[in-house]
Structure 1
Amino acid sequence: MSTLSPGLRPASVRPAPPEPRVPVPPEPRAGWFRRVADRLTSADRGVLWLYLLTRISLWTTAHFARRMFPARPGTREAAPVLAPFQQWDANHYLHIARDGYFPAGAGPWTIGWDNREAFFPGYPLLLRAVHTVVPDWTAAGLLISFVAGAVAVLALARIARAYLPEDAAGRRTAALFLLSPCAVFLAVGYTEALFLAFALPAWIAAMRHRWALAAGLTALATTVRVSGLFLAAAIALAFVLSARTRRDWRAAGWLLLPALPPAAYSWYLHTHTGDWMAWKHAQERGWCRTFHAPWEAWANTWHGAFDRTQSTGYAFMFQAELAAMLVGLALVAVLLRRRRWPEAVYVALSLWALGTSYWYTSIPRATLLWWPLWIGLAALSLRHARFSTAYLCVAAPVTTIVALTFLTGRWAG
């Protein structure tokens, strides 16, 4: 038999007819949930499992609180299931989402006005949008906090893993954060969870020098809380410290983006009230946030905490404010010592804003927003096992008491 060169075929041999082609249906595209799940590492899943367990624990606490600690002693019927979650500021957000900022021509000129313009519009707008799908207002707020809290704790764990070399850094940071004294505010209709869901991914983007994304996420954070401007300052400093070439400096314009939402909100309030700083003046009227020197604010808070001018519950609240201020000052000192300049700026601006009112208000809640605090505590616990045990023994009862106090309507937070 002769050897045929490649590509040649004897004339007497006919090629076999081609086999019929059977169409292969395209593989279905994975849903968005599946795509997100595929991007989660085993460490991420462990953090989210811890998050879910702590949510179940808090919901269980709320269930028993409405039965064991009713608003009126001697009542024979428990409050509605979601009633414990709709307290204090959650009602302000509900009223804004449902009725707007100036319903039926009411405003600061109205007797008994609730000063709702003190609250930024990001959360109420989202609450109104979610309410179109979830009919119950309280349930809609809880859903926002639940999803936002999951994003926040996942981002916090990833930041911790970038800062600390230990494998357990992310999970340990998440555990200390979720068991912190004011953790209840991450699960109710408040803004802390939503703010962190924007702020922490913004910080991750800044760590990766993705300045446009960082600025966009920070702008979303400023729609939720004025603290977004403190984050914007920290990210701007991080940009200045890292920019080396002319190409790097071309991204500087993005750093102005976070200022647009507060400016737009001020313009909106001005069109209704004639006051460019209406949100600040509402805080002054409703929450004594008139400017005072830091030492005056400390003295006034100390007076409320220890001079028996307040009920025992509010005296304890002022004592907690003082303790949180000391924690914040110590945190800034540590950050400065370690030359973490952007993080120090972020926490210091927060302390300045909260520490220059007539007296301290909401500083314990603000600790939830200081992510360097929880990473630092995680670092201590990983180096010293006894610290972790001591923290949990102290934090667990305090966290439970604070949660019960809020869920029963006995503390403004």
Structure 2
Amino acid sequence: MARVKRLEDENLRIVQVWLLTRLLFAVIAVALAVMGQRPLDSVVAQWDVAHFLKISTEGYADPNEMAFFPGWPAVLHAVGLTGFSKVMGGTVIALACSLAAAFALKRIAGAWGAIAWLLAPTAVFTAVPYTEAPFCALAFWAWERATRDKWGQAAVLAALASTLRVSGLFLIGALFILALTQKLGRGQVLAVRLSWLVLPAAVIVVYVAYLYGLTGSWTAWFSAQEAGWQRGFHWPWEALANHWGVLWVPNAEHPEWPWVFRAELISWIVGVLVTLVALAKKRVAEASWVAVQVLAFSVSYWLMSVTRAVLLWFPLWRLIGEFIESRPRTRAWAVLGWIAAGIAVAVQCVWAWLYFTGRWSS
């Protein structure tokens, strides 16, 4: 009975934090819409949302749009067929997916890890029509299923995740390493585990082949990344040098830019540290999941979108959850916890304001 009560309390706490943070995002968005006398859709549909909406309507008429995988635009297109607003429908789906991701993360990282994820600085991207929430829900549950040797279920979830963003390719690689390092002698044999990964890999292959059919190029996705977002190949030291050069340059028209660039660098450093700690704990598959993303960001022109990628790094939230769980249950630690939570909420509200006002927020 005590264990059941504890689980119920943990679930309730996760739901409460999810509800509180999402209500704060909604209040900020609605307030900005009212004060600016703008439709709520226009406040929510910032940055990449415009690309998703365009693809959902026109397909890949613009070659630059090929940088975005088709899964999420297809979902928004389906929402539009119902007559409901694509933006608001996508928002509702993202909100539901963020809660699903939190409960998957609870199984991977514990209740405190899930709560820390809900309080992440860039959590606003899990409450708008971006791919972060649905991808995290699918990827986290895929990982949870794989760690329990349910590789068929994991493969289906990973395949769906791979329709959403290129991170699906990294997920397949990390699952491959997990299959190799997972204890044998129970459940499915190694060959069966690896064979299941053909399914999500096929999704990536089909998308690349589809773009080849449209453009005649096997590198259409890379070309779109480079043309639209300066994500051509650069050596890591070049990327870091380019990034460092903009950290301290004031911008009168966009005062937030240097701060967001600094946050990108901090997030990259966090990724390096999480990789090293995971390796030290002999969590090789988890280390590979973060390391490959850190490497991908390191070979671009500069570090970009790392602050959003932190949301995908479940090994980070597992480490945070373990740290919190290991602390003594004293009043001093409780006070520090409340202070940390208050700061986290404040920071994510500022980030939400950046996003909803159309300022660069990663």
Same fold (TM over 0.5): yes
Larger Rg: 1
Picking from 44, 47, 50, the partner of 1:85 is 44
Amino acid of the residue matched to residue 197 of structure 1? A
Q: Is the 8 A contact 1:290 1:358 kept in 2?
A: yes
**Mapped partners of 2:338, 2:98: distance in 1:** 25
Following superposition, the deviation at residue 146 of structure 1 comes to 1.6
Q: Is the 8 A contact 2:267 2:307 kept in 1?
A: yes
Alignment of 1:134-149 (within 5 A): 134-149=83-98
Aligned equivalent of 2:320: 377
Mapped pair 1:198 → 2:138: yes
Give the direction of change, closer, same or farther, for the CA distance of 1:134–1:344 in structure 2 (3 Å limit): farther
Aligned equivalent of 2:231: 289
**Mapped partners of 1:409, 1:92: distance in 2:** 15
**Mapped partners of 2:12, 2:83: distance in 1:** 27
Q: Is the 8 A contact 1:199 1:218 kept in 2?
A: yes
Picking from 62, 82, 107, the partner of 1:133 is 82
Aligned equivalent of 2:214: 272
**Mapped partners of 1:258, 1:406: distance in 2:** 32
Aligned equivalent of 2:306: 363
Q: Is the 8 A contact 1:145 1:194 kept in 2?
A: yes
**Mapped partners of 1:86, 1:153: distance in 2:** 24
**Mapped partners of 1:340, 1:296: distance in 2:** 30
Following superposition, the deviation at residue 42 of structure 1 comes to 5.5
**Mapped partners of 2:183, 2:281: distance in 1:** 20
Mapped pair 1:213 → 2:213: no
Aligned residues: 347
Alignment of 1:9-408 (within 5 A): 43-68=10-35, 70=36, 78-102=37-61, 107-108=62-63, 115-161=64-110, 170=111, 172-242=112-182, 244=184, 248-251=189-192, 252-308=194-250, 311-384=254-327, 385=333, 388-408=337-357
Amino acid of the residue matched to residue 352 of structure 2? A
**Mapped partners of 2:185, 2:316: distance in 1:** 33
1:113-143: CA deviations, max 9, x gaps? xx11100011111111122225212112112
**Mapped partners of 2:296, 2:343: distance in 1:** 28
**Mapped partners of 1:253, 1:387: distance in 2:** 47
SS at match of 1:333: helix
Following superposition, the deviation at residue 412 of structure 1 comes to 4.7
**Mapped partners of 2:226, 2:13: distance in 1:** 43
Q: Per residue, is there more helix in 1 or in 2?
A: 2
**Mapped partners of 1:132, 1:42: distance in 2:** 40
User: Gaps (5+ residues) in structure 1?
Assistant: 1-39, 71-77, 109-114, 162-169
Q: Is the 8 A contact 1:220 1:258 kept in 2?
A: yes
**Mapped partners of 2:102, 2:143: distance in 1:** 13
Amino acid of the residue matched to residue 88 of structure 1? W
Following superposition, the deviation at residue 212 of structure 1 comes to 1.6
1:183-223: CA deviations, max 9, x gaps? 00000010000101110110111111111211221111111
SS at match of 1:87: coil
Following superposition, the deviation at residue 323 of structure 1 comes to 0.8
Following superposition, the deviation at residue 308 of structure 1 comes to 4.2
**Mapped partners of 1:194, 1:236: distance in 2:** 22
Amino acid of the residue matched to residue 55 of structure 1? R
Q: Is the 8 A contact 1:243 1:249 kept in 2?
A: no
SS at match of 1:224: coil
Amino acid of the residue matched to residue 286 of structure 1? G
1:49-82: CA deviations, max 9, x gaps? 43223211210111122344x3xxxxxxx11133
1:25-56: CA deviations, max 9, x gaps? xxxxxxxxxxxxxxx95643442343223211
Q: Is the 8 A contact 2:106 2:113 kept in 1?
A: yes
**Mapped partners of 2:103, 2:153: distance in 1:** 18
**Mapped partners of 1:379, 1:243: distance in 2:** 23
User: Which moved further from structure 2: 213-222 or 192-201?
Assistant: 213-222
1:144-178: CA deviations, max 9, x gaps? 202211211111112223xxxxxxxx1x2222111
Q: Is the 8 A contact 1:127 1:144 kept in 2?
A: no
